[in-house]
Amino acid sequence: MFKLDRVRQEEEEFGKLILTPEQKQNVVAMASLLASKLPISELALRGFIWKAIKKYQMKNKEYMKDGERLTPEIKIQKTYEIAMEVRNNLVKILERSQDASVVDEALQEAMKLYKEKMAYR
């Protein structure tokens, strides 16, 4: 029913997302915070974050597990890039484009949490 080569390609791409336990904890915390601010499930938000991380990794040929050695400032910059991809994907599925400001506010709060509690660990 499915093209086997495309299925394998997706399996390989999925396998490239490698997170340390701390990074996985950060993804879950960010998704939880966003879910408390937006009318969308935490599971769906994890999916959006995962897709944004995957896109970032493919574009930059870097993997999140390598981020543990980065300075907090660089971690914040890279996380911001990923957050903007999450934002763009969430805005695309809004029923009303004027609700984009709600998404922006939630992501600003998530980035604030990341900067204060996660980036400097």
Position 32 scores a pLDDT of 94
- All residue ranges of the chain with pLDDT < 70 are 1-18, 63-67
Q: H-type helices in 63-119, by residue range? A: 72-92, 100-113
Q: Considering the entire predicted model, what is its pTM?
A: 0.79
Position 85 scores a pLDDT of 95
